[in-house]
Amino acid sequence: MAAETGTRTLGEPKPGNEVVCSKETWPDAAVLDRLFTGAPAQDLLAYALKELAPGKVAVVSSFGADSAVLLHLVSRIAPDTPVIFLETGKHFAETLEYRDQLIAQFGLTNVRSVTPDADRLSALDPDGGLNGRDPDLCCAIRKEEPLEKALAGFDVWINGRRRNQTSTRGAMGLVERDGPHMKINPLAEWDNSEIEAYRTIHELPRHPLTGKGYLSIGCAPCTSPVSENEDARAGRWRGTGKTECGIHISRNGETVRVLSAGQTMTESSEIQASPRADIRANAQDDLWTRDGFTADDWQRLGDEDALPETGPVLVSAARWRDDLRGLNSLQDRDVGVELMPDDPLEEIVPDLDRLAMVALNFPAFTDGRAYSSARLLRERHGYDGEVRATGDVLLDQIPFMLRCGFSVFAISDGPTRRALADGQMPEVPIYLQPVGRQDEGPLGARPWMRTRI
Ligand code: SF4
């Protein structure tokens, strides 16, 4: 579940500030897998949709028993995400109704029902009974081949498999390289209780057949209800020995699809999300200091907001200059001013003894002007109040930010939050940019000059 943060939502990109990868510079799947392990599914989804391959990501959904969770998550990030539904011509009527219900309820605007090639059907399944004679071939022409065509033009596809569904899925990663595609399994870590909790929290509609014992739902001829002691997928292709849709082989413990042209591609299904994600997301407003995460007691005021009666307030430089600076009633009140990079620091210097906090904004991690402002505050003006970093603050920056005088960090970046929560901090043994500390020589001295000082 995404959480409101005041200015943006966890899992949503910072407007105008997306970091977009090109396929040529994609991170290694194993690196991404490690980075997002234990992370909210929303973070991984948002990363895939907005940064890894924006406009080149498709979700594959069967609109089956667990599909609502993933589709709900995706809809809250980008409801126009292409969603591929393999319309095999063999689905339960209830599945098609459920598909239409979820589309309407979640506001999905780009669901594509993909059908088999008519010539292939008439040649290989003229009477529609191929599923009984050769279910692998039936899956190949009704699912595999249409999916292959549908994924052309996409770089990333997202599916909803979970590790706890079958033993063959037990070792799959959150992110896998799949031939020319990156494959994202955002719900791989979720168990049944997390799926159920998410469904309950968000009051998601259930597939109408789940109440009749169908816990994994595919095509009607190949799906049967399960008993209490059976696995959810025991009702799929019952009695045939087939356990996965399409033609599958095992490659390094991973289920893969074998395509008609001899290519391989991992199999598809639905998606899910986690209460664990909600817990992490709900801590989004926390601040980070050297002592760990802490609550933010400051109230950020817009330029038109009424001044509250009590409590510390954070305002823009313009609001301070034009409205609050002259108010005697604020003499005993904690007030902070947030400076954007273009706001002149010198304008608030005469007021520093009245300001309990100066927030310096990083509109992008590539914009380093706030470093200089922090150093000037500490080194030139001797400011000893709170210097807060706001905006696009990433883990790699923090060691140098600390050296420059920042004391509090408002962090919305998911991976940075998780790393800090886990006690991780980049080790930087050598700094090539000195600050004005006594052991480093005068402010501005370059490393190669220090030995001469
Ligand atoms: S699940 Fe059954 S009916 Fe559907 S494509 Fe596969 S074999 Fe054919």
* Same structural domain, 40 and 164: yes
pTM > 0.85: yes or no = no
Which are the contacts of 387, defined by CB distance < 8 A and separation ≥ 6?
A: 357, 358, 359, 360, 374, 377, 378, 405, 406, 407, 408
* Same structural domain, 298 and 196: no
**Residue 18 placed within a domain:** no
Q: Find which of 9-18, 88-97, 129-138, 328-337 is predicted with most confidence, using mean pLDDT.
A: 88-97
Instruction: Provide the pLDDT for residue 432.
Output: 63
Atom of ligand 1 nearest to the CA of 141: 5
Instruction: Provide the pLDDT for residue 332.
Output: 84
| pLDDT over 90 at 83, yes or no | yes
**Residue 12 placed within a domain:** no
- Of 277, 305, 338, the residue that ends a domain is 277
* Same structural domain, 114 and 148: yes
**Residue 246 placed within a domain:** yes
Instruction: Provide the pLDDT for residue 411.
Output: 84
Q: Tell me the pLDDT band of 276, cut-offs 50, 70 and 90.
A: very low
CB atoms within 10 A of CB 112: 12
**Residue 443 placed within a domain:** yes
Please compute the mean of the pLDDT values over residues 395-412 and round it to a whole number.
88
Instruction: Provide the pLDDT for residue 168.
Output: 66
Instruction: Provide the pLDDT for residue 251.
Output: 29
**Residue 421 placed within a domain:** yes
- Of 277, 306, 325, the residue that ends a domain is 277
Please compute the mean of the pLDDT values over residues 79-105 and round it to a whole number.
97
Please indicate whether residue 226, judged by its CB atom, sits closer than 6 Å to ligand 1: no
Question: Which range has the worst mean pLDDT, 16-25, 220-229, 298-307?
Answer: 16-25
Please indicate whether residue 147, judged by its CB atom, sits closer than 6 Å to ligand 1: no
| 60 vs 413 pLDDT, higher one | 60
Report whether 280 contacts 76 (CB < 8 A): no
**Residue 9 placed within a domain:** no
| pLDDT over 70 at 270, yes or no | no
| 16 vs 1 pLDDT, higher one | 16
Q: How many domains are contained in the chain?
A: 2
**Residue 1 placed within a domain:** no
Residues 167-224 pLDDT 10s: 667 777 899 887 788 999 999 999 899 999 999 999 999 999 999 999 899 999 999 9
Directed axis angle between helix 275-282 and helix 192-201, to 10°? 60
Spatial distance between the Cα atoms of 310 and 397, rounded to a whole number of angstroms: 34
- Mean of the per-residue pLDDT values for the chain? 81
* Same structural domain, 346 and 383: yes
Please indicate whether residue 102, judged by its CB atom, sits closer than 6 Å to ligand 1: no
Residues 10-51 pLDDT 10s: 334 444 444 455 677 777 888 888 888 888 899 999 999 998
* Same structural domain, 410 and 317: yes
* Same structural domain, 271 and 302: no
Spatial distance between the Cα atoms of 58 and 155, rounded to a whole number of angstroms: 8
| 107 vs 237 pLDDT, higher one | 107
Please compute the mean of the pLDDT values over residues 365-385 and round it to a whole number.
89
* Same structural domain, 208 and 179: yes
Task: Give whole-number Cα distances, 173 to 55, 163, 254, 453, in Å.
Answer: 23, 9, 9, 53
Q: State the first-to-last Cα distance of the chain, in angstroms, to the nearest integer.
A: 55
* Same structural domain, 269 and 150: yes
Return the residue whose CA atom lies nearest to atom 1 of ligand 1.
219
Instruction: Provide the pLDDT for residue 434.
Output: 62
DSSP string of 326-358?
A: T-GGGTTS-EEEEEPTTS-GGGTGGGGGG-SEE
* Same structural domain, 323 and 219: no
Residues 141-159 pLDDT 10s: 999 899 989 999 999 999 9
Question: Which range has the worst mean pLDDT, 14-28, 94-108, 338-352, 365-379?
Answer: 14-28
* Same structural domain, 233 and 334: no
**Residue 158 placed within a domain:** yes
Q: Which domain holds residue 39?
A: 23-277
CATH code of the domain in which 145 resides:
3.40.50.620
* Same structural domain, 169 and 291: no
| 356 vs 419 pLDDT, higher one | 356
- Of 255, 277, 299, the residue that ends a domain is 277
- Catalytic residue set: 245
Instruction: Provide the pLDDT for residue 436.
Output: 61
Atom of ligand 1 nearest to the CA of 90: 3
| pLDDT over 70 at 328, yes or no | yes
Please indicate whether residue 243, judged by its CB atom, sits closer than 6 Å to ligand 1: no
- What is the residue whose two structure tokens read 């996965």? 244
* Same structural domain, 207 and 273: yes
Q: What percent of the chain has pLDDT over 70?
A: 80
For a substitution probing ligand 1, which of 138, 147, 268 has the most ligand atoms within 8 Å of its CB?
138
